Amino acid sequence: MTEHTLTVAGVAVDTRHWIGGERVASAETFTDVSPIDGSVLGEISRGTEVEVDAAVAAAKAAFPAWAATSRAERARILHAVADGVEKRIEDLAIVETTDNGALLRSHRRGVMPRVAHNFRFFADWLLELDHEDFETRGHTNHVSWDPAGPSVLITPWNAPLMLSTWKVAPALAAGNTVVLKPAEWTPLTASLLADIAAEAGLPAGVLNIVQGYGSEIGDALTSHPDVRRISFTGSVPTAQRITQSAAVNLTPLSLELGGKSPLLVFADADLDLAVDLAVEQYDNAGQVCLAATRILVEETVAEEFTRRFAEKAAAIVQGDPRDEATDIGPNIHERQLEKIDGFVRRAVDAGARAVIGGHRGEGQYYAPTLLADVAQDSEIVQEEVFGPILTLQTFTTEDEAVQLANDTRFGLAATLATGDRERAARVTERLVAGTVWVNCFFVRDLQAPFGGSRHSGVGREGGTWSFDFYCDLKNTVTAPKGWKNHG
């Protein structure tokens, strides 16, 4: 091991940036701490404008050659990256669990295989990307997707590698070069991704990774004149700052922001299914942007729903995420835990009743909580908590259910439990959300559009929508005459 390497459960992780195909150290560092037990994992290179400029310069220099690389060759390299991910699933899983506290079993069986799938899907989609030519008064229109240039990707801590590669894979497939800025609370698997990409043959400078605090390097990244695309997943206030910064150069943005999504439970629903869907919202300790944190239940079944919910939630095992028996791990950071607890305490002070939970556990764990007797205009109903906190409200009519569901500034997702197909069609048509699930939750296909409405985001990614964002769309119109024969 060197001074720039730390070891997590036997896995060596380089703590330096990855710029232009080389490891680059900074003069200063920041401390990475595991949320599982508060242990210090190591000191990570802390980026400045110097590293940002170097990374963007490397991406700019590598762009012409990568953009000119054939679709088939780009796809081949992305499949090689996916192969590398699959070979290191166990390493990636244990490092990410240690770094962000999510369940090890989920990382092994679902999250890391999805990381590999991100690369394979967009590699394959690239090879099929096409638009049928069409004619206008005898002229032929041909639509093409041109690589846009260096792309800055800023990613969150709740699913670090999966959400990073959800952006990295289509950006690279599109022919763009990348500067990735991982969340400062969870930087480690991004560093491993750099190693995997290099081993897969990704040319130097095509993928660059700069670590550090958004407050220190965010503006340098998003206002850089050589950056052609910015994709960000995170909070509304940060997105507002990014938008202002990007406006200087009119840099196109894709923003996936917060949510305050509803789960509507009608009296005609399968109540056991509805309860299962509601309890599922505690997944990843409630640190899921798509989580349906507002449970809206038809009044006639609310009492029975609440009873069954409390019984089901009582069986949740909270503890060390490395244990196969654990259902919920810790929250990411002491600062986040204090934020969660503040939301709950203010809600209780305002009259809310804790049906279950409502308190901190030991360390960085917060008890799964359901708050009833909450007002629609209260903070706990209107603002994203990002913890294992759900609220319970009742409605009496379909119109009231829709009105309550849409009555926030967000519009990321919605979940609906009903036994009536006609009602499902009526209600989903009226819900303001980027994704609506009916009698299910978290079923996602990479070819579907993903994003939010209102303050939950700007734009859509997924399938062709990702290429529409990461590319400059071109329409070439060709006349039917004017050609000369050249033998």
pLDDT, position 302:
98
Average pLDDT over residues 155-169: 97
Banded model confidence at residue 486, pLDDT cuts 50, 70, 90: low
- pLDDT, average across residues 425-445: 96
Instruction: Pull the structure tokens for residue 430.
Output: 């009226």
SS (H, E, C) the chain: CCCCEEEECCEEEECCEEECCEEECCCCEEEEECCCCCCEEEEEECCCHHHHHHHHHHHHHHHHHHHHCCHHHHHHHHHHHHHHHHHCHHHHHHHHHHHHCCCHHHHHHHHHHHHHHHHHHHHHHHHHCCCCCEEECCEEEEEEEEECCCEEEECCCCCHHHHHHHHHHHHHHCCCCEEEECCCCCCHHHHHHHHHHHHCCCCCCCEEECCCCHHHHHHHHHCCCCCCEEEEECCHHHHHHHHHHHHCCCCCEEEECCCCCEEEECCCCCHHHHHHHHHHHHHHHHCCCCCCCEEEEEHHHHHHHHHHHHHHHHCCCECCCCCCCCCECCCCCHHHHHHHHHHHHHHHHCCCEEEECCCECCCCCECCEEEECCCCCCHHHHCCCCCCEEEEEEECCHHHHHHHHHCCCCCCEEEEECCCHHHHHHHHHHCCCCEEEECCCCCCCCCCCECCCHHHEECCECHHHHHHHHEEEEEEEECCCCCCCCC
Into how many domains does the chain fold?
2
Which residues form the domain of 88? Answer: 5-257+452-475
Residues 61 and 78 in one domain: yes
Q: Annotated catalytic residue: which of 289, 298, 384, 461?
A: 289
- Does the structure show a pLDDT above 70 at 1? no
Question: Is residue 274 in a domain?
Answer: yes
Instruction: Judge if 146 and 250 occupy the same domain.
Output: yes
User: What average pLDDT does this structure show over 79-95?
Assistant: 98
Q: Is 138 left (phi over 0), alpha (psi -120 to 50) or beta?
A: left
Looking at the structure, do residues 218 and 118 belong to the same domain, yes or no?
yes
* Residue 466 shares a structural domain with residue 376: no
The CATH number that applies at residue 344 is 3.40.309.10
- Across the range 112-121, mean pLDDT stands at 98
Mean pLDDT of 365-369: 97
Q: Is the pLDDT of residue 487 over 70?
A: no
CA–CA gap between residue 347 and residue 379 (Å, rounded)? 7
- Determine how β-strand 253-256 pairs with β-strand 229-233: parallel
pLDDT of amino acid 388? 97
The answer to whether position 368 is within a domain reads yes
Q: Report yes or no on 444 lying in a domain.
A: no
pLDDT(296) > 50? yes
Average pLDDT, integer, range 353-363: 95
Do 245 and 347 share a domain, yes or no?
Answer: no
Is residue 481, in this structure, part of any structural domain at all? no
344 and 218 co-located in one domain = no
> Residues 16, 154: one domain?
yes
pLDDT above 90 (res 484): no
**Does any domain span residue 484?**
no
Mean pLDDT of the 413-442 span: 97
Q: Is residue 486 part of a domain?
A: no
Average pLDDT of every residue of the chain = 96
Same domain, yes or no, for 100 and 154? yes
Options 51, 96, 184, 256, the catalytic residue: 256
Q: Is 379 a catalytic residue?
A: no
Domain of 115, CATH number, reads 3.40.605.10
Q: What is the pLDDT of residues 50-72, one digit of tens each?
A: 999 999 999 999 999 999 999 99
43 is catalytic: no
pLDDT, one tens digit per residue, over 194-221 is: 999 999 999 999 999 999 999 999 999 9
Predicted TM-score (pTM) of this structure: 0.96
pLDDT at res. 482: 87
pLDDT digits (tens, 9 = 90+) for 244-265: 999 999 999 999 999 999 999 9
Asked whether residue 240 falls in the same domain as residue 325, the answer is no
252 shares its domain with 267: no
- Residue 443 belongs to a domain: no
168 and 274 inside one domain: no
In a domain, 487, yes or no: no
